[in-house]
A and B are shown apart, each in its own frame.
Chain A
């Protein structure tokens, strides 16, 4: 009898180990390709707290550089951005982060407020798979699932990715048990230059009302920040290409919301002169996103505003924090110098 139990236990263990191994192997690694998928998970590697947390879509992780905020102002920050991060995902990521730390302010980029419904599983995965298992992750999954997706496939990604066996590459084996750090505190560096050549505007819309669901989660973010004593600052990145267009009608709704709730809202569109942006050199993809040169200019400009508004004085005198951040700054400068243009 004892032998039978031992056999069963061994069989069970072997199966669990095999399935665990397969899951590690088959899940996308987001290292050489689609590095955006690695961003959310990198937050857990942080060892020190932050003055500022940024949340939002590509417009945060491509437009603001934490190492620049440190270098110029001694301010510590982290960008918890991800590709097409939807408002409910931002909310649950924020809820998770505010359980771990209490920053002076949270900066939320408003572009994704245009979305009122789940959009795309591939983007969902890039945000949700990187979250550690928590109540917030479960809530984020439930709010994000598109038709045909299941909660179970997020909890056991093998159920979703088992068919990747014929796409496996050397990267899947190389990063079976570990991941490199691809970002600089959430900033994904782009050193290429592709000038903006088009001023095409977005196509007309049938309805310019920002979706109620999106505004609900913005309100939840505001209430959460208020409860935690954290300032919520709204921003719109200066990028405004035809495909990712920010309509004046949307802007007016956010400005009204900010005013009604006494929040600061900074829309950087059209402030190229003040910021110093040059669209012939400061974008890597024709104006949809900023490259590192543009992001540094915007960060420098916004950093001054943040320090003034929040009374931030920096942590350069704190040896422990300074040591951590000087190392980060060094890694940032090395990548910047080396460049990462394909």
Chain B
């Protein structure tokens, strides 16, 4: 009886003190390729920002309670939003906001919903206002108005 109890308590103590296994990092499915620079959600921001050069607009905003800033860099036809983790910035979102740049599968603002489906296949979620394609840890969204693409977003999913 005593031995069983000791064993049980030891196991409980050991379990409570053992180290956690970090969750495996997810690999992104979709990436944007803009001005020859490959940009993917959750990639480190620094190499991307260096390759893209000077931005035309910049804003930043703190998070509630936690350290680090969300930053948004504007480049005319597209914007890149970053988040901070472990003191380092990563890509949270890429927004294509006019027809000055195209996705890797050659879709741009102004194209039709049918063109998107031809390029990307059946969407994960479809409505009158959007076509959404779920990647790993991110979603590629084509916003629509009257069947025409008005905005393209590569967005990190909520953790």
Chain A residues within 8 Å of B, Cβ to Cβ: 4, 7-8, 11-12, 15, 18-19, 22, 34, 36-37, 57-58, 83-84, 117, 119-120, 122-123, 126, 146, 148, 158-159, 162-163, 165, 198, 200, 203-207, 241-244, 285-286, 288-289
Contact = CB atoms under 8 A, between A and B. Distances in A.
B65 A148 contact: no
Interface stretch (B43-51, B113-121, B125-133): B125-133
B23 interface: yes
Contact of B16 (A159, A204, A289): A159
A22 B14 CA distance: 13
Interface string B53-73: 000000111101110001010
Contact of B19 (A119, A158, A163, A205): A163
A310 B62 CA distance: 36
Interface of B is mostly: mixed
Nearest to B9: A15
A58 B16 contact: no
Contacts of A83: 64-66
B143 A242 contact: no
B141 to A, nearest CB: 5
B130 A207 contact: yes
B143 A204 contact: yes
Tier of interface size on chain B:
35 or more
A7 to B, nearest CB: 7
A244 B6 CA distance: 53
A36 B159 CA distance: 21
Interface of B: 1-2, 5-6, 9, 12-13, 16-20, 23, 59-62, 64-66, 70, 72, 93, 95, 127, 129-130, 132, 141, 143, 150-151, 153, 158-159
Nearest to B62: A285
B1 A117 contact: no
Contacts of A163: 19-20
Contact of A206 (B12, B16, B72, B127): B127
A243 to B, nearest CB: 4
A34 B66 contact: yes
Contacts of A244: 61
Contacts of A288: 61-62
Contacts of B1: 4, 8
21 contacts: A4-B1, A11-B9, A12-B9, A19-B16, A34-B65, A36-B64, A36-B65, A84-B65, A119-B158, A120-B158, A123-B64, A162-B18, A163-B20, A165-B17, A203-B153, A204-B143, A204-B150, A207-B129, A241-B61, A242-B61, A242-B72
